[in-house]
């Protein structure tokens, strides 16, 4: 009699599971409660969908897939299950499978805004931009106030642009090391090709009250769904202002669970040559991106090294974020300091640096950026100074 009175119903177990998951942040407890609920009511699909979502959130992806497959066998095209399952595959870089799940869901629920919006996102990820725009246009015809769809439309239009033109300017101030500030300006043109993006850039700098110029070409060729590369080269006649020659290569791998790793080298030629090796690992988590990187520079007596940690908080699409970076040492990819790799600079820079940045997409195809950085350098034995850098940039896609 006492057991019957205290035994919880399916709905009560479901409510307690939601409390455990959302209020207590205890997925294990919530999953156990949902299993009890399903033991009582195995066809309670709303409970099954929530179980699949919790498996997804706790990275138990095979279990989540099994749950969603069982729901869709019982009710093909179930809206919430289709949405949750398609999101799982989309988040884990299988957009083709995600699209198949979404399409089946839309066959049963053609007016579903959530499924329609996800389909547009998946088509954008597959670079089927015209189809993505068509889905969004239909969503906005039905609901002109669908702000998420309108925001996505701007992102699709931006991604569909094959050309870009950009300008940037850097101002570098030294409190002790140099009497005069440095100035740097760049103009670049980029193009999306079938093999990946390619960009040409002309750099101008005024350092040590002397002018210099450099020409660079960067490319990001796609090798497969798993790998892509970074290939770069540059040339300058002003070896004291820019490297006489520079080259770079990195191989990137898109890994499971939204991880990314890369390894490569940089080559700089001034009066002598310097080889630098780099390794990095990145991770996307919700609205954040984290990256840890090191540069290693061998010399006859030792290996100098620098480290940096970068994080971004995405406010919207890929071009809407705040960034923060902190690190030690210098980077060969930083044009403001790459001249420090000149072997004629006998004392190797020791530094601690940090930077704050903001990037914003406006009117679908215009990108504005701003960054402020502060670097405390030991530029000679027992002698330190500060370097303040301000950077602004603008690019137009068309």
CA distances from 203 to 235, 342, 358 (A): 10, 18, 22
The structure tokens listed for 244 are 């006489």
Indicate the pTM of the whole model.
0.68
Residues 6+ apart with CB under 8 A from 32: none
Residue pair 293/280 in contact (Cβ under 8 Å)? The answer is yes
Q: Is 70 helix (H, G, I), strand (E, B) or coil?
A: helix
Residue 121 Rama label (left phi>0; alpha psi -120 to 50; beta):
alpha
Q: What's the pLDDT band for 5 if we cut at 50, 70, 90?
A: very low
pLDDT digits (tens, 9 = 90+) for 226-284: 899 999 999 998 767 899 999 999 999 988 877 899 999 999 998 888 899 999 999 98
Q: Is 341 exposed, middle or buried (0-12, 13-18, 19+ CB in 10 A)?
A: buried
Phi, psi dihedral angles at 145 (to 5 degrees): -95, 10
| Closest residue by Cα to residue 261 from 248, 276, 278, 280 | 280
Q: Between helices 79-91 and 45-57, what is the axis angle to 10°?
A: 10
pLDDT digits (tens, 9 = 90+) for 380-395: 777 889 999 999 999 9
The structure tokens listed for 271 are 């009066």
Instruction: Report how far residue 91's alpha carbon sits from residue 257's, in angstroms, rounded to the nearest whole number.
Output: 8
pLDDT digits (tens, 9 = 90+) for 80-97: 999 999 999 999 989 999
Phi, psi dihedral angles at 228 (to 5 degrees): -145, 170
Q: Map tokens 């066959």 to a residue.
A: 107
Instruction: Report how far residue 368's alpha carbon sits from residue 355's, in angstroms, rounded to the nearest whole number.
Output: 17
Instruction: Report how far residue 103's alpha carbon sits from residue 97's, in angstroms, rounded to the nearest whole number.
Output: 10
| Closest residue by Cα to residue 274 from 244, 229, 235, 252 | 244
Instruction: Report how far residue 31's alpha carbon sits from residue 27's, in angstroms, rounded to the nearest whole number.
Output: 6
Show the beta-strand stretches assigned E in 222-381: 227-235, 245-255, 259-269, 273-285, 288-298, 303-314, 321-328, 350-362, 366-380
Mean pLDDT over the full length of the chain = 89
pLDDT digits (tens, 9 = 90+) for 299-347: 877 888 899 999 999 887 678 899 999 999 888 888 777 777 766 554 4
- In eight-state DSSP terms, residue 106 is H
């Amino acid at each position: 009699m006492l057991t019957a009175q205290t035994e919880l119903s399916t709905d009560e177990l479901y409510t307690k599971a939601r409390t455990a998951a959302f209020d207590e942040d205890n997925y294990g407890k919530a999953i156990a409660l949902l299993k009890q609920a399903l033991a009582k009511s195995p066809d309670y699909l709303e409970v099954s969908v929530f179980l699949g979502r919790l498996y997804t959130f706790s990275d138990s992806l095979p279990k989540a897939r099994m749950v969603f497959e069982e729901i869709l066998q019982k009710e093909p095209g179930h809206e919430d299950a289709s949405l949750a399952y398609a999101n799982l595959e989309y988040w884990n870089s299988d957009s083709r499978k995600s699209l198949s799940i979404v399409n089946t869901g839309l066959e049963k629920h053609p007016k579903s805004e959530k499924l329609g919006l996800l389909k547009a996102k998946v088509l954008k990820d597959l670079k089927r931009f015209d189809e993505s725009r068509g889905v969004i246009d239909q969503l906005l015809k039905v609901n002109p106030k669908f702000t998420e769809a309108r925001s996505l439309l701007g992102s699709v239009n931006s991604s569909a642009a094959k050309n870009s033109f950009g300008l940037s300017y850097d101002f570098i101030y030294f409190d002790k090391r140099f009497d005069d500030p440095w100035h740097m300006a760049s103009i670049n043109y980029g193009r999306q090709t079938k093999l990946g993006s390619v960009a040409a850039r002309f750099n101008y700098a005024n350092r040590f009250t002397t002018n210099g110029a450099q020409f660079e070409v960067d490319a990001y060729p796609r090798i497969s769904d798993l790998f892509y590369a970074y290939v770069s080269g540059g040339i300058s006649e002003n070896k004291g202002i820019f490297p006489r020659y520079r080259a770079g290569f990195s191989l990137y791998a898109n890994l499971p669970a939204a991880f990314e790793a890369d390894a490569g080298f940089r080559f700089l030629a001034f009066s002598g040559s310097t080889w630098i090796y780099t390794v990095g690992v990145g991770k996307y988590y919700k609205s954040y991106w984290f990256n840890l990187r090191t540069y290693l520079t061998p010399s006859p007596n030792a290996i100098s090294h620098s480290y940096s940690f970068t994080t971004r908080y995405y406010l919207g699409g890929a071009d809407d974020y705040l960034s923060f970076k902190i690190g030690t040492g210098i980077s060969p990819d930083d044009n403001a300091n790459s001249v420090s790799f000149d072997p004629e600079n006998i004392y190797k820079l020791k530094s601690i640096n940090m930077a704050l940045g903001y990037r914003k997409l406006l009117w679908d195809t215009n990108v504005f950026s701003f960054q402020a950085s502060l670097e405390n350098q030991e530029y000679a034995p027992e002698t330190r100074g500060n370097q303040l850098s301000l950077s602004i940039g603008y690019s137009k896609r068309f």
